[in-house]
């Protein structure tokens, strides 16, 4: 089974539909399977005190203006849905609150996503699991008991899911990746496990691909110099193309793990061992 590749646009569109479409195009051209956004109900996710506090941004001088400037609504998501269907790529979004999850339901998406920040919100998890759609669950900022509780909710709802190993630091240092957690998650929960990366560069994601992940998610951007807290941990178009291409090669290179004579080695063996007598000449390649 090929690794399911998710290009996380998140809020890197900076509230502009033309940037969102450019990023969707980048993901499609690179060979990604899906793009992902984030959906928040501003007055549910953030307190009035925080929203009224000062923050300089392209949209104004308060936190509310900044967050509302980044948030897509009905019109924008209808256009995202139309455009993704037009060019042939799946889309999904991580909801940060129950109203946002209910909002997304209208689009009848194939997939749901639980962001690391929301894995401890049991009410939201139950709402998502009730839909029965395949759900990617990121495990950043969690203790094992948090993951236990999330998995139990999805199992009880009989909702298909896979976990995604994640370290929620933006950007993440390579030495903090702890990729061996991929095997730990597989062994503990007996389920598919993916990787959601926030590192700079692509080497860590290559290593994750070689560890048998079933999904791979990376943030993407048109330029890391653009405004936004996620831009520094994102891949630019050339990096995304390089990553997807290399991961597809890694998948092929992993093989089936069966020891034995590869059929392409037969003629080479006959040539290089021609001076040796014995049973080896009767070996037929089986690998």
pTM: 0.94
Are residues 233 and 268 both part of a single domain? no
Write out the residue range of the structural domain in which residue 31 sits.
4-255
Are residues 187 and 273 both part of a single domain? no
pLDDT at residue 133, rounded to an integer: 98
Are residues 189 and 282 both part of a single domain? no
Are residues 187 and 265 both part of a single domain? no
What is 22-62 written as a DSSP string? HHHHHHHHHT-SEEEEEE--HHHHS-HHHHHSEEEETTEEE
Are residues 267 and 245 both part of a single domain? no
Are residues 265 and 144 both part of a single domain? no
The total domain count for the chain is 2
Are residues 130 and 230 both part of a single domain? yes
pLDDT at residue 139, rounded to an integer: 98
pLDDT at residue 286, rounded to an integer: 47
Question: Where does residue 140 rank: exposed (0-12), middle (13-18), buried (19+ CB within 10 A)?
Answer: middle
- pLDDT, block means (10 residues), the chain with 287 residues: 96 98 98 98 98 97 98 98 98 98 98 98 98 98 98 98 97 97 98 97 97 98 95 96 98 94 90 79 50
């Amino acid at each position: 089974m090929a690794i399911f590749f998710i290009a996380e646009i998140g809020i890197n569109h900076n509230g502009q539909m033309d940037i969102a479409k450019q990023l969707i195009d980048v993901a499609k051209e690179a060979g990604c399977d899906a793009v992902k956004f984030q959906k928040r109900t501003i007055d549910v996710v953030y307190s009035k005190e925080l929203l009224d506090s000062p923050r300089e941004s392209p949209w104004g001088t308060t936190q509310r203006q900044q967050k509302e400037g980044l948030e897509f609504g009905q019109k924008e998501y209808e256009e995202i849905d139309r455009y993704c269907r037009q060019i042939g790529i799946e889309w999904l979004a991580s909801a940060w609150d129950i109203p946002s999850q209910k909002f997304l339901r209208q689009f009848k998406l194939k997939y749901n996503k639980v962001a690391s920040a929301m894995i401890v919100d049991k009410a939201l998890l139950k709402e998502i699991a009730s839909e029965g759609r395949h759900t990617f669950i990121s495990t950043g900022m969690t203790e094992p008991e948090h993951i236990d509780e999330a998995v139990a909710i999805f199992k009880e709802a009989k909702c298909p899911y896979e976990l995604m190993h994640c370290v929620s630091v933006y950007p993440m240092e390579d030495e903090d990746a702890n990729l061996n957690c991929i095997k730990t998650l597989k062994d503990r929960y007996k389920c598919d496990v993916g990787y959601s990366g926030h590192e700079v560069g692509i080497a860590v994601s290559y290593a994750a691909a070689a560890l048998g992940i079933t999904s791979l998610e990376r943030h993407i951007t048109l330029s890391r110099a653009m405004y936004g807290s996620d831009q520094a941990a994102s891949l630019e178009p050339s990096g995304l193309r390089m990553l997807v291409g290399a991961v597809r090669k890694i998948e092929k290179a992993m093989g089936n793990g069966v020891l034995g004579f590869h059929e392409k080695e037969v003629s080479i063996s006959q040539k290089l061992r021609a001076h040796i007598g014995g049973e080896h000449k009767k070996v037929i390649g089986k690998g």
